[in-house]
Amino acid sequence: GAGVSQTPSNKVTEKGKYVELRCDPISGHTALYWYRQSLGQGPEFLIYFQGTGAADDSGLPNDRFFAVRPEGSVSTLKIQRTERGDSAVYLCASSQGQGEKLFFGSGTQLSVL
């Protein structure tokens, strides 16, 4: 597939649990973004990677959220001690570079019970 792939598509967890969300960007795209989208709202920026490094993590809401991209390709968003307020769609996007057109995946719907 040529698009951005996100897994799982749906994740249901219990309050206090740890979750990992995976993003497989378009091959060759150096920039990778994570956004979070609540029902009825626009996507909210979380973190931006350029290659392996987090170039901007100013959108991460608190230290329970962490993301990695160890080889400059696949990225994992990690959420510790999940809370009900973390329930949202988590979107990943990639681009050829900052400022270039973003290609989004279909997102992971996270539900914290």
The correct pick among 13, 76, 87, 104 for binding other proteins (CB under 8 A) is 104
Instruction: List CB contacts of 55: < 8 A, sequence separation 6 or more.
Output: 48, 49, 98
Q: Alpha helices of the chain — where are they, by DSSP H?
A: none
Bridge partners, residue 37, by sequence? 89
Does the footprint of other proteins cover residue 107 (CB under 8 A)? Answer: yes
Of residues 39 through 78, those in contact with other proteins by CB under 8 A are 40-45, 48, 55-56, 58-59
Interface contacts to other proteins, rule CB under 8 A: 4, 33, 35, 40-45, 48, 55-56, 58-59, 91-93, 98-99, 101-107
